[in-house]
Structure 1
Amino acid sequence: ATAASDRVSDEAAAIDIGEAGVLGIVEEKDVDVPMRDGVLLRANVFRPDAQGEFPAILLRTPYRKPSGGYERFVRAGYAVVTQDSRGRYASDGDYIPFTEEHTGDAEDGYDSVEWLAAQDFCNGRVGTMGASYNAWMQWQLARLRPPHLVAMCACTIPLELTAVDWPGGFRPGRRVKWWMTSMAPDIRRRLGEAGPHTPEEARKAWDEVDQGHWLGFLPWLELPRYLPKGMAEHAEDWLRHPNRKAWRFEEAHREVEVPNLDFSGWYDHCNDTMRHLAGMQINGRTELA
C-alpha cells in the first residue's frame, strides 16, 4: 500500500497544477458506458483539469450515482467515476437484486473497469470503492479479475446474504423500509406507476404516514403485493427462502487477486469485516491480495 501511495503521489506531483497548488475539476454527466450485451449504463466522470493520465476510482451503485463530492480525490490526482448499476436511474436494462445468485453485476463491473481503463484520461490503473450494496458490487466484479483492476475498498458488507440484516436472522421491519424507500421508488418511476418516485419522497411519506402501517403489516408474505413488478417477485422469493446463500464471498477470497481496504463499525457487520480480512490473508489468490 505504501509503494502504491508513493507512486500516486509521484504522478500527482509531476502534473502542472498551477500556482494554486490544486487541480481544477472537469465534470461529465451521464456518460454512456457500453456493456458486452449492448446495454448502456451511465456514469458521471470527475477528473483533473490538467494534461496527463490519471489513476481512476470507480463507484457502482443501485442507489443513484453521486453527482459530486469528490473534490479531494480529483485534486489529489485521481479521476472518479460514479455509475448507476443496470436497471437503476439513468442506466438501461433490467434490475436484478442481490438476493439472486446471477444478477449480471459481476460482468457489468468487469466491463466498466475495462472501459474506464481505456479512457484517454486514465493511466490504466483502476480501483473501486463503496460500502454496503456498493461493496457487494465490488466483490462481484473483483472475483472475475478484470486485468486493469489494481485495488478495491469494499467495506461494511457481510460474507453472505443470510447476514445482511443480522447473522442468521431476518429483520422484516428494516427490510420493508429498504424496499419501500430505497429500491421501489425508481422502479415505479421507470414503470410509469404512481409515486413516490424518489427516495426523498418515499422517506417523507414513510416518516409521516406509512411506517405505522407497514411495520405492523401481517402476514409478511403478502407484502410483495404492494411492491412494483420487477421487485415484488424477488422480495417474495427472499421471504420464502431466507436461508438462501447467494453470495458465497468466502469463495471469492480465493478468486480475488487485488488488495481490499475494509473498515466497519461495531454495529455494521464488524465481525464479517474481520472475517473478510482473515479470509483474504489465508486464501487470497495472490500475495498482494
Structure 2
Amino acid sequence: MAMHDLIARIRSRVDDLNRSERKVADVILQDPNAAIGMSIATLAQAATVSEPTVNRFCRNFETKGYPDFKIQLAQSLAGGTPYVSRSVESDDDAAAYTDKIIGATIAALDEIRRGIDPRRIERVVDHLSQARQIHFFALGASAPAAFDAQNKFFRFNLPVGAYNDVLMQRMIAAASHTGDVIVVISYTGRTRDLVEVAQVARDAGALVIGITRDGSPLANVCTDILPVDLPEDTEVYMPMSSRMIHMALIDVLATGVTLRRGESFLPHLRTIKESLRPTKFPPKEA
C-alpha cells in the first residue's frame, strides 16, 4: 500500500483506532469528497467528537494537522484520471469533478496560508524592493505564474521580464550583475535546466529567489526561497493546486512591494489603471 494512499491507510487501521477516532474515520470513509469540504468543527460535529479528537486522528496518520490531512485526502481518493487530478474518477459528472478540484485547491491554499513564514515574505519583499531589475524564470506549467508576475511587477518603474525559454534564461542569467534579482518558479525544484540557470545567475552576482520545494536541488542553489511544499504528484498528474499557490504568492509579493513604496506611489499605479479606461465599454447601469 502506497504511503500517499490515505484512504487505504485509514481503512486498514480502523479496527486499531479508539472509539472516538473510529467515529471520525467512519464519517470520512462514508463520503471522502464531502469530508474535503468540511471545516474541522463541521467534521467534529458530524462524528459527535471534539475538535482535539479530530486533530489527534489527523496526526495519527502522519499529517501535520487538519489542513494537511484534507490535502492528502483530496489526493488519495480512489481511482483518478492521469493529467487531470488524482481525486477525479472516470464516471464523475461536472458537479463532482468541479467540486473536487476547487475543494483541493482551497485546502492547498489554506495549508500554505497557515504555514508560510511572514519573515520570509518580508525578506523576499526587501530583495524585490531594492532590485535594479527583476527577471522571472519558469518552465512548463509554472510559466503562467512568471508571466503573471511580469504583468504585476512592471508597474513598479523598474525593468521586469518573464522567460520560459531555457536558452534565453541562460543568457540573461550570465549577463546579470549585482543588484539584479532573478525569481525562479518550479514546483518540484528538480528541473535540471532551472537549477543550472540559477547557479549561473548566482555566479554572475545576481540574487536568486526560488519559489519551490524546500530542500530541493533548486532551493539549494538559491539565495533565498519561498517554500511551496504540497503533496501534489506531478510525476503522473498535471500540476493544479501548486500552480494556484504560485499565483497567490506572486500577488502577496506584489502587494508587499506596493506597500513598501508607500502612499506616494499610489498615483503612479492609478495612472496606469486609468490608461486602460478607454479600452473598455462602460459598465451597464443598474
- Do both share a fold (TM > 0.5)? no
Q: Which has the higher helix share?
A: 2
What is the TM-score with the length of structure 2 in the denominator? Answer: 0.29
What is the TM-score with the length of structure 1 in the denominator? Answer: 0.28
